[in-house]
Amino acid sequence: MTTPEQTEHTEETTGHGDISVGVAGSGDSSASATRITPGNALRPEDIALEVRTGLVKPSEDVAEYALRLGDDALILAQRLGHWISRAPELEEDVALGNIALDQLGHARSFLTYAGGAWEKSEDELAYFRREHEFRSAHLFEQPNGDFAVTIARQFVVSYYQFELYRRLTESTDATLAAIAAKAVKEVDYHRDHSAQWIIRLAQGTEVSREKMIHGLKLVWPYVAELFADDELTTRLADAGAAVEPSSLKADFDRLTGEILAEAELEVPETPAAPGGGRRGKHSEHLGYILAEMQVLAREHPGASW
Amino acid sequence: MSPHGNPEVPASSAGDVESSAAKVPAGPAGPASADSGSTSSVSTSSTSPTPDRSVWPLWEVFVRSSRGLSHVHAGSLHAPDAAMALRNARDLYTRRNEGVSIWVVPADAIAASDPDAKGSFFESPQGKDYRHATYYTKSEGVKHL
């Protein structure tokens, strides 16, 4: 795994910064509805800079943990990106694309930080690891299915991630806390988006209701893995750096239960799938996702575009 | 809170998702739920026995870019109901920090002046410069004018 040259990434990290130079500082006097500002928020480039200058360096445990969260978001972003140009309506196309980009942003932050422990860039981690080196849970690699299946997956993911990031903002690891603080607001909107659709599809037509029920049934077996503790999470939770996944379950059950009750749906009682994503054991789906996601970077190592 | 679930209301609110518009099916009403208390003024012709299922109604979007300024028309979009229209507007028109507030209005609800009546409607004020303050000369001895 001695691939792309470091110089490539140094350049990349400074490249994006230019956005702020162009539009920052224009006062609030303009009444244009399309006035744009980059805003102030933690960017992956900021983390890369801190890592490069040695300001922060995650411990092996924290890096492994960040890798899990980053892989979850990365695989989901790749899945959701597939909806672009394929959603039922143009507006929904944009909504799912936005959510995918949010997730990609979280993935970049987590992977950049994790890479600090092994002197690897986010790109090296995303494009040059093999299937068994990915630490994402099985839910994230589940196929998009129809719109209702994607909404069901989004529903579980966003309610899980919200509870997780909400607590991670109090992590003793400052970088994890900062990434979570940025992510939690975005994930909150993802919750709202999925909840709105759960209710509408469930109470729309007979067909939409059937599809919604079917979608939930398909994704529910993968819920249990999200809330499974292991040695790493226990160690990190004891140190205050992470939260035990099992501690999120009660809030997840309560809040998703409220939405499902409002939609007059039942919580599916499907048996849990075996899982194993955190140990690098994946379903048959991940290989195909990685093939598509990694092909360009592997075909032209070190290329920039 | 606004009747349509304001996406600006932070975080926690997703727990109590506004359902006022939820009874409006995604797409025009099917036979089973032919209007269960739709609040939307854009009903897709309840008179027609087989409504067009493929079309979401059109909404006009107004965005306020910062406090103290008024909402400005930003564009339009399709959405099944007001709550979703607000969310779609958030996704389509505030992706680059453009707004702090959004209004959505059913396109049907907007009455517009007739573009062909431009002459009678808008040309009359022309030449009536006495309607502008600059027409008048300042009276002597009046301070602070």
Q: Is pLDDT at A19 greater than 80 in this prediction? A: no
* Within a domain: A275: yes
The sign one gets for the Cα dihedral A262, A265, A271, A277 is negative
Q: What is the ipTM of this complex?
A: 0.74
For residue A72, name the pLDDT band (cuts at 50, 70, 90).
very high
- Interface with B, mutate which of A90, A160, A200 (most B CBs under 10 A): A200
* Within a domain: A263: yes
User: Does the beta-carbon distance from B72 to A31 stay under 8 Å?
Assistant: yes
pLDDT of residue A49: 92
- Among A4-18, A58-72, A214-228, B116-130, the minimum mean pLDDT is found in A4-18
Q: Is pLDDT at B50 greater than 90 in this prediction? A: no
Q: Is pLDDT at B51 greater than 70 in this prediction? A: no
Report which DSSP code applies to B18.
-
* Within a domain: A9: no
* Within a domain: A305: no
Instruction: Give the closest of B19, B83, B91 to A98, CB-based.
Output: B91
Q: Is pLDDT at A51 greater than 70 in this prediction? A: yes
User: Does the beta-carbon distance from B65 to A35 stay under 8 Å?
Assistant: yes
- Interface with B, mutate which of A19, A20, A34 (most B CBs under 10 A): A34
pLDDT of residue A211: 98
User: Does the beta-carbon distance from B15 to A258 stay under 8 Å?
Assistant: yes
Smallest CA–CA distance, residue B98 to chain A, in Å, is 5
Q: Which residues of B touch A35 (CB under 8 A)?
A: 65, 98
Q: How many domains does chain A have?
A: 1
pLDDT tens sequence across A152-187 = 999 999 999 999 999 999 999 999 999 999 999 999
* Within a domain: A25: no
Smallest CA–CA distance, residue B47 to chain A, in Å, is 19
Angle, CA of A73, A97 and A284, to the nearest 5°: 50
pLDDT of residue B30: 39
User: Does the beta-carbon distance from A193 to B92 stay under 8 Å?
Assistant: no
pLDDT of residue B68: 75
Which range of residues forms the domain containing residue A108?
A: 40-299
* Within a domain: A7: no
For residue B121, name the pLDDT band (cuts at 50, 70, 90).
confident
Domain of A191: which CATH number?
Answer: 1.20.1260.10
User: Does the beta-carbon distance from B97 to A201 stay under 8 Å?
Assistant: no
User: Does the beta-carbon distance from A39 to B97 stay under 8 Å?
Assistant: yes
For residue B37, name the pLDDT band (cuts at 50, 70, 90).
very low
pLDDT tens sequence across A105-153 = 999 999 999 999 999 999 999 999 999 999 999 999 999 999 999 999 9
Q: Which residues of B touch A206 (CB under 8 A)?
A: 30, 32
For residue B143, name the pLDDT band (cuts at 50, 70, 90).
confident
Which domains does chain B show, CATH number per domain?
Answer: 56-125 (3.10.20.520)
Mean of the pLDDT values across residues A248-255? 98
* Within a domain: A141: yes
* Within a domain: A78: yes
